[in-house]
Structure 1
């Protein structure tokens, strides 16, 4: 085949590829494309939670109702993971999804084990117009800073589900992987 024949085949192949449907970002779990998501650090999250806790304590001491925070921390890990422990003040993804209207207008701060699942969830929320900040590093960064954890009923615990034993955590915590 001559040069013109090859050029024709190449041009036809390029046109065919250009006309083929392209995969949507959702087909890849929302990890590619979509809105850019702002992140929040461990120090920033701890500061928000501490400030809210102080405001609630002050309101209680004054016989008033605690102010509604302008954020909500959402643990997007599996039931097995959240049944071990959560960050104090967080709610589960199930709780958030069951009553999203209650949290309308607040910044949603999702977290997971390291930030991947929470990042994908943050992109889904942002695509729906929700203000969101991903806690990248998530619960592993929280325990690296040796911050407290609680059970779903609010009791202090040192247990943390790390999803995998490949992650190392400070010795003051008990690592759970199953």
Structure 2
């Protein structure tokens, strides 16, 4: 039979090892061992937020008033080649966000990419910096799967979507771009 003092001492040793060896690795490897929990946002909720904002802006213009600033910002974290094809309407690029980060202080940041991996990593970085974030998991592929519009960076409607890789498929209503 095991000595109870030995069992307790062994448990303390395991906990101490975990605290010294594993927990610092979480910070060092950016969440490889878990990291901060990042909230997500659904396609339906993001679309509704953008629709409300567009409607409020249109009503303000119609009333001759300035449009109010939204309490969120949608950030496309894909490469220049990808965002130069199309973005979700109302989105800004990661470079635009970082250049004007003070403008967006206190707002909910909603990053997205092709499927949600790169935006999830960026979301963890933002959370570590104290930013309120919701990752759009599924990202632009979920957006077009829902039949929602995309536009060029200068606001013109398009049906072209950069999918990063030809392994991803999009609805026939869109033109897939991989280069």
TM range (shorter): 0.7 to 0.9
From the superposition, tell whether residues 21 and 100 of structure 1 become closer, same or farther in structure 2 (CA, over 3 Å). Answer: same
CA contact (8 A) 1:30 1:124 kept: no
Q: Where in structure 2 are there 5+ consecutive unaligned residues?
A: 1-12
Q: TM-score, normalised by structure 1?
A: 0.86
* Deviation >6 Å, runs of 4+: none
> Which residue matches 1:58?
59
> Which residue matches 2:159?
158
Aligned partners of 2:156 and 2:64: how far apart in 1?
24
- Matched residue of 2:109: which SS? strand
RMSD: 2.0
Q: 1:10-21 residue pairs with structure 2 within 5 A? A: 18=17
Deviation at 1:35, TM superposition (A): 1.3
Aligned partners of 2:52 and 2:165: how far apart in 1?
32
Q: 1:123-162 residue pairs with structure 2 within 5 A? A: 123-162=124-163
> Which residue matches 1:117?
118
Q: How many residues align?
A: 165
Deviation at 1:24, TM superposition (A): 3.1
Deviates more, 1:98-107 or 1:29-38: 29-38
> Which residue matches 1:69?
70
> Which residue matches 1:84?
85
From the superposition, tell whether residues 29 and 158 of structure 1 become closer, same or farther in structure 2 (CA, over 3 Å). Answer: farther
Deviations 1:117-142 (A, max 9, x none): 00010011011110000000000000
- Matched residue of 2:110: which SS? strand
Within the alignment, does 1:45 sit opposite 2:32 as a pair?
no
Q: Where in structure 1 are there 5+ consecutive unaligned residues?
A: 1-13
From the superposition, tell whether residues 35 and 159 of structure 1 become closer, same or farther in structure 2 (CA, over 3 Å). Answer: same
Aligned partners of 2:118 and 2:27: how far apart in 1?
13
From the superposition, tell whether residues 72 and 58 of structure 1 become closer, same or farther in structure 2 (CA, over 3 Å). Answer: same
From the superposition, tell whether residues 148 and 37 of structure 1 become closer, same or farther in structure 2 (CA, over 3 Å). Answer: same
Q: TM-score, normalised by structure 2?
A: 0.85
